[in-house]
Amino acid sequence: MTSGTATPAFPRVLELGAGLGVAWAGRLLADAGAEVIRVEASGEDPLRTRGLHPAVNANKRGVRLDPDQGAGRAHQTKLLAWADIVLLSDAPTMLAAGGLDPQTLRATQPGLVAVAVTPFGVRGPRANFQATELTVLHGGGWASVCPNTHLDPALPPLKVFGEQSAFLAGTTAALVALATWRQAMRSGVGDFVDLSQQAYIASVLEAGMPALGYRDLIARRYHPRGLLPWRIFQAKDGPVYLVCIEQDQWERLVAFLGTPEWTQMDIFADNAGRAENQDILHELLQQEIAGWAAQDLYHAAQKARIAVAPVLDYAQLAREEHLKARDFFHTHRDAEGKEHRLMANPILATRGRATIRLPAPHVGEHNALLDEDLPVRTRLGSDSARLPLDGVRVVDLSWAWAGPFCALMLAHLGADVIRIESAQRPDLYRRLPLSPDDVPTTLNSSGMFNQWHQGKRSVAVNMRSDAGRALILELVAKSDVVVQNFGTGVLERLGLGYDVLKQANPRIVLASVSGYGQTGPCAHYMGYGPSAAALTGLCSVTGYEGGDAEELGLSMPDPTSGLTAALGVMEALVRRDATGEGDHIDVSLWEATAVHGLEAWMQFQATGTQPPRMGNRDARMAPHNCYRSLEEDGWVTIACRDDGEWRQFAGHIDATLAKDERFWTLAGRKAYEDEIDARIGAWAAERGRWLITRELQALGIPAFPTLSTRDIADDPHLNARGFIERLAHPEVGVRPHAGIPWRFDNRPNGVRQPAPCLGADTEAVLREVLGMPADRIAELRAAGVLS
């Protein structure tokens, strides 16, 4: 258990990067209480032109300087000496030119924690590759499984709306920066954290890596699903999402529908039959759903404990009473006096949500700071540099994906995560049929469990027994954090609610992750990742041009909420260092994911309209698409960010294309985008995807293939970065797993141990943590408590 050594409440943060990822990281840290100074260089700021500035730069101060000029470089050096954390986004060559590369910062700013958020990381063979969000979502593997609703392989892999990798990497950067700073305050040793957006996306591909490593299966966007029903249906006034993960949920759905005759057919009796006959199943369910209004079906089905959700657009999202009740919308005036209705910080702590203390700054609004005598960074400790959460103990009561992902992030940062589970009610992921053919199938052989529980220990406890609950409370008394993602109210009914945990340990931090949160009129509704995505607005703006709203391809609200909860835990630990008080962190899948649609939300707030579905295209770039290449199901993305890149690209593929004056401006290229895409498509179809990538990257043009999970596991760049983990598991041996998307310079890297076998660490934990003698452990085992 960690000591109560106090540290300053929150760090000072310098935001030097220009991308959305570092801006979002800075906003989250500012919300938590950090003092953040954002540096804008000369030139146009895309966050301002895209309407994101009021949302992602609130609670910061802003200065403008040119670090390439003498005075600007001196001011930058002064700000670096002031900061505890610096957030960066430039490619390695630019970092080196600006004196911000790891070697220079280590020599000139030894106590500083620097976090670089870049598409491919600052180290590795592709560190200097050009990229846009299109590049990253396809290069990280997400697009290869998106939208996962059509069986036609001719439909291209699909990019989800907006800059999802930037938001996800930004949250990760805030988490790792805060954790590393906290340890640096004790050790006096700073660090350079190299965070790859591609690696983060590759780290959250749901069943993708387990299916590859354990069954030699490559997940594809056109493969039929194995759990049914699971898709978007059309109610009479709009789309709704329905998902039944387990058999009892299907049985509840049948009863809710009034047990139609067709539901009693043998082919629908179990999931295998439903999967084999899913076309018929979907057609019959569509007939049942077509007569319902979306909102009526939503609330009626949820009362029957069936995971149904409407596919909301942004106008509907803005009217949601549940979000209003949870204080998810905040109204404030910006520096010009204009009123904005913003989505709030997705972390809800006991003290409430973070408020907007400062509007997003004018350009250079706080330049007077540059002439002040700023305090200089100090370090309090002289301990050795260790993993950031070394010494923090976590009791993991979670299951499936969202809660376990929170605990996984804490384990990656060095926490001792003790998973509480039981063979009497094993985790869903231990039961999923993703075990290798060449080993016996047990509760320890599923790839889904072994992917999402790396680096943890397992203690077998029957928590539904009085003695089991008492044992859990003993562990809580010796721990720092508890993570749970039961349905709202279940923990309390188990006798382990926050009030009870707080009695056992007043310093405990409880992280509760759920579909709808712990409060609000819909708090007790069922919320899985896919259905939560439908509620966020993102499905309504994701889809092929001219097509319907689409799924996101992955149950992304699960890891997104888990990641957000891990940041909430980290903030609570920092506050506890200063106050001695624990906290209850409440994160919902809905809210944690909804904030990643900020660009669509801000457009809706400004204009009353939302962006149209554009497939892989972009309103501010052309060409910007995914093209079929020479290989079977081979695809490559190409984006031209400005007129100069277009001239380079067009000249490379077709001299007549480069001379066509219709295409010389963005407006012209958008007007003739179909023609341009057709010509690029014909050119790409005759070439290999990696050949296209090499040629265009040599010209400085963002181009990259759509990677499958096989591509990712074999990728030279990701392997060079140590991202693919191949640790020996006691039952399944050596299998590839997605690892940690960041790399430290001064602290250990890599997953420390494979996922545990069920109960493998029971005796060791009871001895080490509770000092329990062997005879007492034997008594508990004989009584069925340790099972």
Give the separation between CA 46 and CA 23, rounded to whole angstroms.
Answer: 11
Are residues 159 and 138 in contact, defined by beta-carbon separation less than 8 angstroms? Answer: yes
Q: How far apart are CA 208 and CA 707, in angstroms?
A: 12
Length of the chain: 787
Say how far apart CA 738 and CA 382 lie, in whole Å.
34
CA dihedral of 554, 559, 560, 566, whole degrees rounded to 10: 180
Query: From the CB of residue 261, how many other CB atoms can be counted at a distance below 10 Å?
Result: 6
Nearest alpha-carbon partner for 360 in 332, 329, 330, 395: 332
Q: Do 557 and 539 form a contact (C-beta atoms < 8 A)?
A: no
Strand pairing report for 624-628 and 635-639: antiparallel
* Separation of alpha carbons 759 and 670, rounded Å: 59
Q: How far is CA 360 from CA 50, 80, 330, in A?
A: 14, 22, 14
Q: CA–CA separation, 627 vs 693, rounded Å?
A: 12
Catalytic residue numbers read 558
Distance between terminal CA atoms of the chain?
Answer: 26
To which residue do tokens 């006691």 refer?
Answer: 730
One-letter-per-residue 3-state SS of 318-370: HCCHHHHHCCCEEEEECCCCCEEEEECCCCEECCECCCCCCCCCCCCCCHHHH
CA-closest candidate to residue 444, choices 32, 132, 761, 716: 761
- Name every residue whose Cβ is closer than 8 Å to that of residue 107 and which is 6 or more positions away in sequence: none
Q: How far is CA 664 from CA 640, 656, 659, 661, 676, in A?
A: 12, 12, 8, 5, 12
In 3D, which of 9, 415, 383, 3 has the Cα closest to residue 186? 383
Is 14:37 a contact under the CB 8 Å cutoff?
yes
User: Which value, to the nearest 10 degrees, does the dihedral of the CA atoms of residues 264, 269, 273, 274 take?
Assistant: 70
Tell me the two tokens of residue 767.
């001895």
Residue with token string 């100069």: 644
- Kindly report the backbone phi and psi dihedral angles of residue 612, in degrees, each rounded to the nearest multiple of 5, phi listed first: -75, 160
Phi and psi at 209, nearest 5°, equal -70, -40
**Residue 373 exposed, middle or buried by CB count within 10 Å (0-12, 13-18, 19+):** exposed
Backbone angles phi, psi at 421, to 5 degrees: -155, 175
DSSP 8-class letter at 145: G
Displacement of CA 446 from its chain's centroid (Å): 23
Look at residues 491, 503, 430 and name the one whose alpha carbon lies nearest to residue 463. Answer: 491
Distance CA 462, CA 472 (A): 10
The residue written with tokens 């290999």 in the block is: 688
Cα–Cα distance list, 619 to 317, 607, 639, 715 (Å): 23, 16, 12, 31
Query: Measuring CA to CA, how many Å separate 310 from each of 211, 238, 302, 527, 693?
Result: 30, 8, 11, 12, 40
549 membership: H or E segment, kind and range:
none
Amino acid at 511: A
